C-alpha cells in the first residue's frame, strides 16, 4: 500500500470523519425511534388501521435509511479506506437517503396539517393547505436534487444542487413554524381569547396538562428538526468541512418519525381506556369530565376531542360543576380528531 501524503490524509479524514460520526448518531436515533414505536403499538394495539400504516411506513423508511447509510459508511471507511478514487464518486446511498428523509418529512407534516384542520373543527382549511403547499414544495425540490445526484457520478456535481437546496430548507422551516404556531393557538390561545371575550378568564388560568404536554413536545420536536436542518444547510454551504454536513442529515428521517410517534403517544392508552372502540370512562385534570358509553369506529383520543368541543362552546368554567359529559352527544366528525 502506497504512503499517503499529508494533504491526501487530510482529505480522507474530512470526508470520512463526518460520515462515521453521523452513522453513530443515526444508529442512536434509530434506537430511540424503535423504542417509541414499541411504546405506540403497546399502548394502542387497537388503533385505527391507517395510523398504524402511517407509523409502519415512516419507521420502515427510517430502517431503510439507517441500512443504506450504514452500507455507505462501510464502503467508504472500511472496504475502500484511503481509496481516493472511490471517494470521488457519489455513493448510491446519498440520493436514497435524501429521498427517504424528504418523504418521511412530507408525510409527518401533512399529518400535522390534517390534524390542525380537525382541531379547528374542520373550519380552517386555508392554514392546512398552506402547510401542505410548503411541504410539497420542499419534497419536490428534494426529488429534483435526488434526480441530479442519481444521474451524476462525481462528488463535484454536488454544486449543481446548491442554488435550489435553500428553497427546500425554506419550505420545510415554514411548514414547521406554521405547525408549531397552530398547535399553540388551538390548544391554548384560542381558549384564552374565547374566555377573555366572555370575561370568564382569570389570572390563574392554565391550559390543561394534556394540552400543555402536547404543545411542549410539538415545539421541542419542531425545534429539533429545525436545528438539524440548519446545521446540515450551514455545513453543506461550507466547502472546507467535507462531509460533516451529514452529521445531522442522517438523523432527519428519525427526527420527523419521532415527532409523529410523540404526538400519537401523548394520548390516553387504549389498553386502559378503550378509546379505540369500546366503552370508556376517564377523568380530566381539574374536574370529572367523563366519557361514558363511547361507541366510535374512528380515531382514538376522543377525550381530547371532547374537551376541545366542550371548550369551544364556552363551557370551560362550568366543567367542574356540570353533570357527567356524554361523548355520544358529540358530532362524529369532532370525535374523530386524533390529537
Question: How many Å is the Cα radius of gyration of the chain?
Answer: 24
Whole-number pLDDT of residue 155: 80
Q: How far is CA 14 from CA 8, 87, 122, 291, 306, in A?
A: 10, 11, 51, 59, 55
Query: Which position has the grid cell 414505536?
Result: 37
Whole-number pLDDT of residue 328: 37
Whole-number pLDDT of residue 104: 94
* CA nearest to 168, candidates 113, 116, 99, 219: 99
Whole-number pLDDT of residue 313: 42
What the chain holds in terms of domains, given with CATH numbers, is: 6-266 (1.20.1070), 271-339 (no CATH)
pTM for the model stands at 0.73
* CA nearest to 71, candidates 42, 99, 49, 91: 91
Whole-angstrom distance, CA of residue 93 vs CA of residue 73:
10
Q: How many CB atoms lie within 10 A of CB 196?
A: 11
Are 24 and 60 spatial neighbours (Cβ–Cβ below 8 Å)? no
Determine which helix (DSSP H) or strand (DSSP E) holds 49, and give its type and residue range.
helix 49-74
Three-state secondary structure call for residue 88: coil
* CA nearest to 132, candidates 160, 88, 171, 97: 171
| Residues forming a β-bridge with 92 | none
Are 118 and 299 spatial neighbours (Cβ–Cβ below 8 Å)? no
Whole-number pLDDT of residue 143: 93
Using 50 as the pLDDT threshold, list the residues of the chain that sit under it.
270, 272-339
Q: Which residues of 112-141 are buried (b: 16+ CB within 10 A; e: fewer)?
A: bbebbbbbbbeeeeebbeebbebbebbbeb
Q: Report pLDDT digits (tens) over 119-142.
A: 888 888 999 999 999 999 999 999
Amino acid at each position: 500500500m502506497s504512503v499517503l501524503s499529508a494533504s491526501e490524509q487530510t482529505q480522507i479524514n474530512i470526508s470520512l470523519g463526518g460520515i462515521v460520526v453521523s452513522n453513530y448518531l443515526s444508529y442512536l436515533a434509530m434506537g430511540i425511534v424503535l423504542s417509541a414505536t414499541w411504546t405506540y403499538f403497546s399502548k394502542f394495539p387497537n388503533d385505527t388501521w391507517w395510523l398504524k400504516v402511517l407509523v409502519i411506513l415512516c419507521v420502515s423508511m427510517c430502517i431503510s435509511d439507517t441500512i443504506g447509510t450504514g452500507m455507505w459508511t462501510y464502503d467508504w471507511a472500511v472496504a475502500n479506506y484511503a481509496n481516493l478514487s472511490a471517494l470521488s464518486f457519489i455513493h448510491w446511498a446519498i440520493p436514497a437517503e435524501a429521498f427517504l428523509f424528504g418523504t418521511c418529512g412530507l408525510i409527518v407534516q401533512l399529518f400535522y396539517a390534517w390534524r390542525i384542520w380537525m382541531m379547528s373543527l374542520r373550519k380552517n382549511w386555508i392554514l392546512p393547505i398552506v402547510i401542505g403547499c410548503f411541504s410539497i414544495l420542499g419534497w419536490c425540490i428534494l426529488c429534483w436534487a435526488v434526480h441530479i445526484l442519481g444521474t451524476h457520478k462525481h462528488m463535484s456535481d454536488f454544486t449543481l444542487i446548491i442554488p435550489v437546496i435553500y428553497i427546500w430548507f425554506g419550505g420545510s422551516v415554514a411548514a414547521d413554524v406554521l405547525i408549531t404556531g397552530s398547535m399553540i393557538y388551538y390548544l391554548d390561545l384560542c381558549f384564552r381569547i374565547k374566555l377573555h371575550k366572555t370575561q370568564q378568564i382569570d389570572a390563574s388560568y392554565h391550559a390543561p396538562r394534556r394540552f400543555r404536554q402536547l404543545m411542549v413536545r410539538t415545539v421541542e420536536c419542531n425545534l429539533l428538526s429545525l436545528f438539524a436542518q440548519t446545521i446540515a444547510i450551514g455545513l453543506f454551504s461550507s466547502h472546507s468541512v467535507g462531509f460533516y454536513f451529514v452529521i445531522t442529515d442522517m438523523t432527519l428521517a428519525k427526527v420527523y418519525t419521532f415527532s409523529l410517534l410523540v404526538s400519537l403517544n401523548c394520548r390516553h392508552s387504549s389498553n386502559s381506556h378503550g378509546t379505540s372502540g369500546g366503552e370508556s370512562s376517564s377523568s380530566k385534570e381539574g374536574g370529572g369530565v367523563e366519557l361514558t358509553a363511547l361507541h366510535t369506529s374512528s380515531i382514538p383520543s376522543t377525550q381530547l376531542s371532547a374537551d376541545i368541543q366542550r371548550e369551544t362552546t364556552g363551557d370551560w368554567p362550568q366543567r367542574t360543576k356540570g353533570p357527567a359529559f356524554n361523548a355520544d352527544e358529540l358530532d362524529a366528525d369532532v370525535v374523530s380528531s386524533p390529537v
